[in-house]
């Protein structure tokens, strides 16, 4: 009897301490770690893409005119980023809706790079290439650009060297590791554009260096034209007001 009650209290002790340990972690937003590896730093890559001298405060970077805000990578209850109306407090895994211009901005990797998505849903993955780049490492001048019109939820993805990595971590075959870090960009483009920078890690977690600059892609999404806005009515006007605050 004595041994059983000892066991029982040990059992409940483990259960309670697990709950206490797990509870705060489950509710927290989080960033994926990334590391510099001797290749150009995030500061110099941002300078190469947008010009100016960059500095950082925490996870965000600025050159005085343009600021890039790190987007969260994971949390307990993940929601989609609306590519037009999202912000840095979203999670960069599942994306939704909009008309966007996609531009390859930089590559620092030996492998050829392909960037794509899975138009029409998040499962199965069904990779569809949007653009590819096989040039040398560096900022890409006049790089490949493609326009897309997106309806519904989708994932971004890359296909380097026969592998396939998705913005949604649980889709990745190397144990659900994160291959994408994302910034919300302020101060670039037209007033009615929402701009994102996607930084990809191209190797499986067994051999990666986690520098997350192997392929860098910019997304510029536009809010609807005024004619469409009129049809959308008050919802559209509310969106416009929010964007111009
Ligand atoms: Ca991520
Ligand atoms: Ca890498
Ligand atoms: Ca690299």
Per-residue pLDDT tens for 152-210? 899 999 999 889 999 999 999 999 999 999 999 999 999 889 999 999 999 999 999 99
User: Residue 34: nearest ligand to its CA?
Assistant: 2
* 40: pLDDT strictly greater than 70: yes
Mean pLDDT, residues 103-131 taken together? 91
* 25: pLDDT strictly greater than 90: no
Going by pLDDT thresholds of 50, 70 and 90, the confidence category of residue 19 is very low
The pocket of ion ligand 1, defined by CB under 5 A, consists of 73, 92, 178, 180
Contact 116, 159 (CB under 8 A): yes
In angstroms, what is the span from residue 46 Cα to ligand 3's centroid? 15
Tell me the percentage of the chain whose pLDDT exceeds 70.
78
CA distance 92 to 139: 23
60 beta partners: 57
In angstroms, what is the span from residue 64 Cα to ligand 3's centroid? 26
How many H helices and E strands in the chain? 4, 14
In angstroms, what is the span from residue 214 Cα to ligand 3's centroid? 4
* 115: pLDDT strictly greater than 50: yes
- Which burial class, exposed, middle or buried, applies to 199 when counting CB atoms under 10 A from its CB (0-12, 13-18, 19+)? buried
Instruction: For the domain covering 42-244, report its CATH number.
Output: 2.60.120.400
Per-residue pLDDT tens for 51-69? 999 999 999 999 999 999 9
pTM of the model: 0.81
- Nearest-Å Rg of the Cα atoms of the chain is 21
* Domain positions in the chain: 1-27, 42-244
pLDDT at res. 245? 38
């Amino acid at each position: 009897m004595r041994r059983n009650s000892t066991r029982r209290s040990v059992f409940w002790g483990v259960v309670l301490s697990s709950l206490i340990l797990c509870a705060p972690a489950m509710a927290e937003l989080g960033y994926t770690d990334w590391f510099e590896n001797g290749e150009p730093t995030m500061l110099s890559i941002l300078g190469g893409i947008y010009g100016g001298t960059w500095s950082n405060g925490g996870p965000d970077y600025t050159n005085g005119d343009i600021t890039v805000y790190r987007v969260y990578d994971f949390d307990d209850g993940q929601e989609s980023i609306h590519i037009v109306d999202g912000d840095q407090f979203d999670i960069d895994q599942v994306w939704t809706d909009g008309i966007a211009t996609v531009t390859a901005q930089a590559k620092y990797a030996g492998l050829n790079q392909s960037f794509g998505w899975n138009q029409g849903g998040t499962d199965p993955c069904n990779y569809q290439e949007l653009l590819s780049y096989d040039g040398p490492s560096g900022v890409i001048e006049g790089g490949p650009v493609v326009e897309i019109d997106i309806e519904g939820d989708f994932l971004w993805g890359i296909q380097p060297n026969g592998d396939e990595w998705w913005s949604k971590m649980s889709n990745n075959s190397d144990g659900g590791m994160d291959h994408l870090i994302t910034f919300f960009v302020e101060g670039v483009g037209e007033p009615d554009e929402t701009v994102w920078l996607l930084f990809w890690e191209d190797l499986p977690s067994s051999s990666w260096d986690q520098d997350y600059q192997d392929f860098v892609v910019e997304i510029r999404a536009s809010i609807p034209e005024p004619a469409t806005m009129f049809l959308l009515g008050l919802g559209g006007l509310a969106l416009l007001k929010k964007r111009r605050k």
